[in-house]
Structure 1
Amino acid sequence: MDSLDHAHFAAIPWCARHLQGDRVIARPPSCRTLKPADEDTLFADTLNSERGILRMLQVYEEPLSPTERVNEVKAFVTLGSGLNGYPSVCHGGLVMAILDEVISDLVPINQRRGTAPGGAHMTAYLNTNFIKPVPTPATVLTRAWFTKIEGRKYFMQGTMEDEDGVVLARADALFVQLKSSL
């Protein structure tokens, strides 16, 4: 766990409430680590700054059974003013990119647990509704959950919320397990 990310969100009272519990797993999402062949450069490098996405922490509850799927993941994201599309408002494309990233994290979390087949997956669609402007600078909570799994298809939904739980954006997504790696 990146102690700076955890400490940052633990110091924010409304975030700290989500970090409590014996089964809570909290760590930076994999997209914040640069990989070979420039994978994840958008979140690990380009957006990883004071004015971009300063901090990001993935949170989920470890299921009671090792064979049980993780059905929901949360991610706290601290947004800087360098993400503005309009004064003090995060660009809608970045809101979608964050939703896409957090929603897609459900698959590798479950792959590591052995509750989802291994292999690469990609976004087939991400239908997003912008309900209220996402403010910057601010810390938001992004949630994602499975709605249905059919073979190689993962149907999921996600929201981006403010500290009061007000939904700012909502997305329906389909991710598809690739037949072969890229």
Structure 2
Amino acid sequence: MIGFPDSVHGGAAALLLDEVTGMHIASQRGPDEPPNKDFRTAYLKAMYLKAIPAPGTVLVRSRIVCVDGRKNYIEAQIDEDGGVLVKGEVLYIALKSSSKL
């Protein structure tokens, strides 16, 4: 999880973005729909603005930008004390065999 001393590795930061945004999509399912993850990450862009301190506590925010058919566009950011450390853009594609997300 550590990249440079006292900093989170960039791959771990991308993992945080991917997991939080994926949970965000899954949480939007209707109450009668199963909570499985029937979508896949198609694209993930992470823009590293500042190092994420480690150890430390951060807040990951996620926002669904648009749903276009099977495409789910999400924006996210990792914050610490109100400052943005990492920004992310993620595209998820629902599997053809899946029901509406």
TM-score > 0.5 by shorter chain = yes
Specify the SS of the correspondent of 2:90: strand
Name the aligned partner's letter for residue 137 of structure 1.
Answer: P
Q: Equivalents in 1 of 2:8, 2:30: separation in Å?
A: 32
Q: Do the aligned residues in 2 keep the contact of 1:119 with 1:178 (CA within 8 Å)? A: no
Per-residue displacement from partner, 1:127-176 (whole Å, max 9, x unpaired)? 110000000000100000111110111001000000x2100000011001
Superposed, 1:29-178 pairs within 5 Å as 83-113=1-31, 120-162=38-80, 164-178=81-95
Name the aligned partner's letter for residue 170 of structure 1.
Answer: K
CA-CA distance at 1:180 after TM superposition: 2.9
RMSD, aligned α-carbons = 1.8
Moved over 2 A (4+): 112-115
Q: Equivalents in 1 of 2:29, 2:76: separation in Å?
A: 19
Q: Equivalents in 1 of 2:95, 2:7: separation in Å?
A: 35
Per-residue displacement from partner, 1:105-137 (whole Å, max 9, x unpaired)? 12210114469xx76011000111000000000
Q: Equivalents in 1 of 2:32, 2:73: separation in Å?
A: 19
Specify the SS of the correspondent of 1:107: helix
Q: Equivalents in 1 of 2:48, 2:26: separation in Å?
A: 27
Name the aligned partner's letter for residue 73 of structure 2.
Answer: F
5+ residue gaps, structure 2, are none
Superposed, 1:9-20 pairs within 5 Å as none
TM (norm. structure 2) is: 0.87
Would you say how many aligned residue pairs link Structure 1 and Structure 2? 96
Flag the structure with more relative contact order, 1 or 2, with Cα contacts below 8 A and sequence separation at least 6.
Answer: 2
Q: Quick check: which has more Rg, 1 or 2?
A: 1
CA-CA distance at 1:100 after TM superposition: 0.5
TM (norm. structure 1) is: 0.50
Percentage of identical aligned residues: 33
